[in-house]
Amino acid sequence: DIQMTQSPSTLSASVGDRVTITCRTSHSISSWLAWYQQRPGKAPKLLIYKASTLESGVPSRFSGSGSGTEFTLTISSLQPDDFATYFCQQYHSYSTFGQGTKVEIK
Amino acid sequence: QVQLVQSGAEVKKPGASVKVSCKASGYTFTNYPIHWVWQAPGQRLEWIGWIIPDNGNTKYSQKFQGRLTITRDTSASTAYMQLSSLRYEDTAVFFCTRGFDSSGYYGDAFDIWGQGTVVTVSS
């Protein structure tokens, strides 16, 4: 199994801040990585796939980068609607998910 | 509108079975695989299996092998997830989700998600 390590677990930030979340994998996955946003009691929402491709309808302040074993999700200017939990998913071999990063209001 | 709508919450006793449905609409059901993912309280999401609606082929996580059955009814554009011999630790939210960017090694990114079905195992 490919293990996922996501950091930080919690992030306190203010509206307008630039936020970066990191995901590391135990084996190289090329660019087979997705990022999701999840709100309490709701289904995840796809933000980024293939490491850096923005899903249709997702604001351009979200961006993804990386390949191999290290990946980042960046929110360029945090908006009130962005306070949620974010997690990564590798889909190179089956699917495994990161443990999530909760973005809180500072 | 492309969507997946799941059946409602279930409460089951240990040893029982549960069957959750996932109805697709707004797209051609047989064109995309349906995956099932679960989220136990306070835990990360975990992939449990998938079905290719076109031919009915399935693949299950080893963790659930022997207890999990995923089926589909193409005439109803609906996929089903049945988990048997339920244990207290099976209490979780189960999501169905549509795969759209397969890596070819049973991995996929998920663009459409059902609303989730809470399954509670309690005596």
The mean per-residue pLDDT over the stretch B49-69 comes to: 95
Lookup result for tokens 């509670």: B120
Inter-chain residue contact A93 with B106, CB threshold 8 Å = yes
Average pLDDT of the residues in A71-100: 97
Q: Which pLDDT score is estimated for A42?
A: 92
Tell me the chain B residues in contact with residue A34 when contact means C-beta distances shorter than 8 Å: 101, 109-110
The pLDDT value given to residue A19: 97
B23-47 pLDDT, tens digit per residue, is 999 999 999 999 999 999 989 999 9
Residue A32 has pLDDT above 90, yes or no: yes
Residue B105 has pLDDT above 90, yes or no: no
**pLDDT of B104 over the 90 cut:** no
A3 contacts A96 by C-beta, under 8 angstroms: yes
d(CA B6, CA B28): 17
The answer to whether the beta carbons of residues A23 and A4 sit under 8 Å apart is yes
- Inter-chain touch B109–A44, beta carbons under 8 Å: no
Largest CA distance in chain B: 41
Report yes or no: B113 at the A interface, CB cutoff 8 Å: yes
Q: Is the pLDDT of residue B106 over 90?
A: no
Q: Residue B97 in contact with residue B2, Cβ under 8 Å?
A: no
Task: Please give the mean pLDDT across all residues of chain A.
Answer: 97
